Amino acid sequence: MKNLKALIKPALLLMALAMLTGCSEKIAVLNPQGPVARSQYHLIIWSLIMMSLVLAVVLIIFVYVLARYGRKNSDGFDPNDTGNRRLEIIWMVIPVIICVLLAVPTVKTLFSLNQPPKATAAQAQTAGESLTIDVTSVQWKWLFRYPGQKIETVNYVVIPAGTPVKFRLHAYDAMNAFWVPELGGQQYTMTDMPMQLWLQADKPGNYDGRSSNYSGKGFAHMTFKVMSRSSTDFDRWVNDVKDNKPALTHEKYMELLKPNTVKAQAFSSYPAIVAKDLNKAQMEALMNGESVDTDSMHGMDMDHESGEGGSQDD
């Protein structure tokens, strides 16, 4: 039985390695498709290496000790072996070093993620140097507003490849989290605090996004597609939406704000109320003819001009 146990761990590790190398395409986080996801991927791999070392050391000592002192009649029993200052200092110092080795890149990456990634492709005419998209989570759908382009989409978002995209995140009702694993890590959406997330796709392609923070009955279906397109395709798409899609009416917008799941859709324009990024309470107050209480937007406002909408940010 002891031998069996000794075998399990290496077998699992082997399996893990096989999975890492064999089918990383299915493993979204380990298949980064943009600079943000890539910087996080590097951090993950670096920590995985360090941590594997730690695990290996623990396992080697573990197996050795059990094999050596687990047998009946093993020699070397020493009940007076109750401490060793030098050894204890060693295994206190080594974790400290590992922590430093992990903390430095962590903090660096943390600060770098506040900055837009470097553009890697020619800019789309309709987008400019960087594109700003206002994202609103509503039970259980995603609304994407292009303040510069004055269009709105639901449950899918088209972005130009190689161009940094600033997602400004809002919640209409429940808290959700905006996550596109192949492009980068997530941020929450909240009713009282607009947040921002820079993402960028290297090349054209479709990426799965979903809400990662539980928000009720339809949460599992709260997915969206991120479609990265070349600059020219992006321009074409914007113009196509402007020309061919219906306008988002006030009634239709109110319909969208109800808790349900809907299909992907696009709108050539939106009413002014959409750009106010009202939350559910503010919207209800407005509908009841009360003054909208704006001082509930108290949180750490990471992006001071948000809430105005409309203006292109560049």
Partner 1 sequence: MIESIKSFMGWFFVTGDPMIYGADASIALASIGIVAVLTYFKKWKWLWEEWLTTVDHKKIGIMYIIAALLMLFRGGVDALMMRAQLTLPNLHFLDAEHYNQVFTTHGTIMIIFVAMPFIFGLMNIAVPLQIGARDVAFPFLNALSFWLFFFGAMLFNLSFVIGGSPDAGWSSYAPYAGAEMNPGVGQNYYLIGVQISGIGSLATGINFLVTILKMRAPGMTLFKMPLFTWSILITSVIVVFAFPAFTVALALMSIDRLFGAHFFTIAAGGSPMLWANLFWFWGHPEVYIVLLPVFGIFSEVIATFAHKTLFGYAVMVWSMVAISVLSFITWLHHFFTMGNTAPVNAFFSISTMLIAIPTGVKIFNWLFTLNKGRIQFTTPMLWALAFIPNFTIGGITGVMLAMAPADYQYHNSYFLVAHFHSTLIAGTVFGIFCGLHYWWPKMFGYLLDETKGKWAFWIFMISFNICFMPMYFLGLMGMTRRMYTYPAGLGWTPINVVMTIGAVGMGVGFIIMAYNIVWSAIHGKKDKTGDPWDGRTLEWATSSPAAEYNFAHIPEVSTRDAFEAMKEAERKGEADSKKPYAPIHMPSNTGIPVIMSAFMFVAGFGCVFEWYWMAIPGAIGVIACMIARSFVYDDHHFIPVEDIERTEAATGRLS
Partner 2 sequence: MTDATLSLHEKDQSKLPLEYRTEEGDLRIVGFWIFLAAELVLFGTLFGSYLVLQSHTAGGPGPHDLFEIGPVMAETIVLLISSFTCGLSTLELRRHNKKGLIGWLIVTILLGLVFLGLEINEFYTYAVHEGAPISRSAFLSGFFVLLGTHGAHVTLGIVWIAGILLQLGKRGITTVTARKAFMAGLYWHFLDVVWIFIFTAVYLTGLVI
Residues in 204-223 that interact with partner 1 by CB under 8 A: 208, 210-220
Which among partner 2, partner 1, none contacts residue 17 (Cβ within 5 to 8 A by kind)? none
Q: Which is nearer to partner 2, 192 or 308 (CB)?
A: 192
Burial class (CB in 10 A: 0-12, 13-18, 19+), 85: exposed
By CB under 8 A, the residues from 169 to 208 that bind partner 1 are: 173-175, 177, 179, 181, 184-188, 190-193, 195, 208
Residues 6+ positions from 263 with CB-CB distance below 8 Å: 154, 155
By CB under 8 A, the residues from 88 to 107 that bind partner 1 are: 88, 91-92, 95-96, 98-99, 102-103, 106-107
Q: Does 293 bind partner 2 (CB under 8 A)?
A: yes
Least spacing, CB of residue 191 vs partner 2, in Å = 13
Strands 205-211 and 176-180, sheet pairing? antiparallel
What's the first-to-final CA gap in the chain, in angstroms? 65
The one among 77, 118, 263, 289 contacting partner 1 by CB under 8 A: 77
Which among partner 2, partner 1, none contacts residue 291 (Cβ within 5 to 8 A by kind)? partner 2
Q: Does 18 bind partner 1 (CB under 8 A)?
A: no
- Residue 175's CB is within 10 A of a number of other CB atoms, namely 14
Q: Cα separation of 139 and 146, whole Å? A: 20
Quick one: three-class SS letters along 36-47?
HHHHHHHHHHHH
The one among 7, 27, 273, 287 contacting partner 1 by CB under 8 A: 27
Question: Residue 226, SS3?
Answer: strand
Q: Which is nearer to partner 1, 210 or 229 (CB)?
A: 210
Q: Does 236 bind partner 1 (CB under 8 A)?
A: no
Q: Does 284 bind partner 2 (CB under 8 A)?
A: no
Q: Which of 47, 36, 18, 39 is closest to 165 using CA atoms?
A: 36
Q: Which is nearer to partner 2, 263 or 298 (CB)?
A: 298
Q: Which of 191, 115, 178, 193 is closest to 144 using CA atoms?
A: 178
Q: Does 139 bind partner 1 (CB under 8 A)?
A: yes
Tokens of 306: 């948000």
